[in-house]
Amino acid sequence: MARGLGRFWGKVKVRETREGRTPPPVCEAAPADVAQLLRLEDEAGAALSLSRTRLMVMGLGVGLFFAVLSVRATGLALFPADPASVPHSYAEAPVRRGEITDRDGEVLATNLDFHSLWADPAMVWDAQETAEQLATVLTDLDVDRTARMLSSNRRFVWVARQLTPRQRQAIHLLGLPGLDFRIEAGRIYPKKRAAAHVVGYTDTDLNGVSGAELAFESELSSGDGRPVSLSIDLTAQNAIERVLRARMAEFSAEGASAVLMRVGTGEILSLVSLPDFDPNRPSDSAGVDRFNRALTGVYELGSVMKPLTLAAALETGEVRVGDVFDATHPLRVGGFTIHDFHPERRPLTAREAIVHSSNIATARMADTIGSEEMRRFFSDLRLFERAPVELAESAEPLMPARWGRTENMTASFGHGFNISPVTLTAAYAALANGGVYVPPTFRPVAPGETVVGEPVMSASTAAQVLGVMRQVVTEGSGGAANVEGLAVAGKTGTAEQIVDGRYNRRAVYNSFISIFPFDDPQYVLLVTLYLPQPTENTHGYRTAGWNAAPTAGEVIGQLASILGVAPREADPSAQADLVSAMFPPRVRVRQGPEEPLDLVSLSEAEPQP
């Protein structure tokens, strides 16, 4: 069969009978030559017939092809096919990153199409000249690096991403060969610096780098276009940022932070960390600006820990608010000495220990209940773990290598272990929530939604401590945080920081933790100033009662209308008096100034004999 086809389509050949000879004329040929001539004529006729057959077969094939094509075209014209039944091949559509909004739908992060510049190095005439020309438009362009890229053997290199329309037009007018533009999605932050540490930012390929952009990466990049809502209240956020910026400048502080949390739901309505940055241009900011002081920073926060120590002591049942602890003399423990900044030099009740912020009395209170009970209570408040929020920036606390008697007593007034402001705020939210701990969250909670928490103390203990904290504001060092009609309860804290291995009185972190309204707790606010300086208005003092407390008071005053907190018509101290009446009589409280964390430097402490 194959041989036959090969013969059919093969080249037609006429064989000569003898090399170099032609057939003789018929008239002169011998009978043998006549036979040979007839064979040649038969072969020539066969070859001609084969050629004609081939042409006919080819013609039929071409005709059949056009006939089928014509029939198909006619069929499609008369009976169009169902589009759904026809297979298609689509180019994959680009995935659009979801928006980020605040709790009220205000857009914090969204997408915008940008022109990006790329080059085909093979089409670039002069790499060095091209790079220099581009630098006249793109002022931050690395000329040498760009020239090397444009001299490479690759056929595609990015030159600049997310250009402004003005930059694109200027580059276009340069008329440089080998360059072109591509439209790609970019991320923009219309509120700029507002809540920057919470929102975070992405890289040029729209991958989350920090904040909510990183924490909710899977949702934002799913491509369904649904926004991710945060618990942040942008109006409250702006108000707090505005106050903190002004106070930070007034006290020449190196930084400031604030955390506002809703009691009962754990929603973080505001988180401020200053200095901050513009997520539209994160590379323009220094690393310290992108550092989240409220969540990543862990600090010895000082006397704001004392009400929690009182709560631990009351919860054991071994201490009552009227119990007396000797604060007449400095306390020597573990070879070191604990002092009070403005000592009362007398026995103090547990209540007075908090109002006067006595390191000595608070340390004796912690010693009474023991390190095991203190550790258990602090652990229930999750002070020994990172704040359980969605953001990856939440940092682990720094704990002492061992928790013995000395560590237990110093921890009672905020020395010797470091926690984040968010961690502390969540602990106080449990105190304000009747003793029930609810994890902090950046997710909004729907109205009427029930959030299940974990009981960590009794409601009676929480009420007693709140009563004492109210007295800190009405009678103690937190007076500057008092807001008429809002019944603020709180506690100041001034913590010396370690500089070159020693505690430095001039390097302090000042805080004020507040719960308001006191008689119907709804919000917890923690304000912190980092390394504030004394001013003429503070009479040379740098402690929290002179800066952090008035800052918190100003913030609360502005938040009342934003959060819908109505002024209290009743006497704001009435609830404190009611709580006080539930317990045995106590020594009259005398007003005393706030003290910094005044544990004598370990290198200077007088050893215990």
Size (the chain), residues: 609
130: nearest Cα among 116, 113, 117, 111? 117
| CA–CA distance, 573 with 567 (Å, rounded to integer) | 14
Cβ-proximal residues to 242 (8 Å cutoff; 6+ apart), any chain: none
User: Greatest CA separation found in the chain?
Assistant: 160
| CA–CA distance, 472 with 489 (Å, rounded to integer) | 7
CA-to-CA separations, 119 to 80, 159, 203, 570, in angstroms, rounded: 45, 7, 21, 73
In a 10 Å sphere around its CB, with 0-12 CB exposed, 13-18 middle and 19+ buried, how is residue 560 labelled?
middle
Active site residue 252: no
Checking phi first, is residue 430 left (phi over 0); if not, alpha (psi -120 to 50) or beta? alpha
Pairing of strands 523-530, 268-274: unpaired
Q: Could you say which DSSP state residue 515 is in? A: E
How many CB atoms neighbour CB 171 within 10 A?
22
| CA–CA distance, 466 with 468 (Å, rounded to integer) | 5
Q: Could you say which DSSP state residue 517 is in? A: S
CA 164 to chain centre: 26
Cβ-proximal residues to 331 (8 Å cutoff; 6+ apart), any chain: 337, 338, 359, 360, 363, 364, 409
For residue 415 the two structure tokens come to: 């020395």
415: nearest Cα among 351, 503, 541, 477? 503
How many CB atoms neighbour CB 1 within 10 A?
5
Helix (H/G/I), strand (E/B), else coil: 527 = strand
For residue 221 the two structure tokens come to: 């990049």
| CA–CA distance, 366 with 377 (Å, rounded to integer) | 11
- Angle CA(122)–CA(128)–CA(133) in degrees, nearest 5? 105
For residue 28 the two structure tokens come to: 């002169």
Q: Across 175-214, where does the E strand assignment appear?
A: 179-188
Residue type, 259: V
Residues 527 and 548: beta-carbon distance below 8 Å: yes
Which of the residues 303, 357, 371, 420 is marked catalytic?
303
Buried b (16+ CB within 10 A) or exposed e, 351-361: bbbbbbbbbbb
- Residue with tokens 């009747």, as numbered in its chain: 434
Q: Would you name the residues annotated as active-site residues?
A: 303
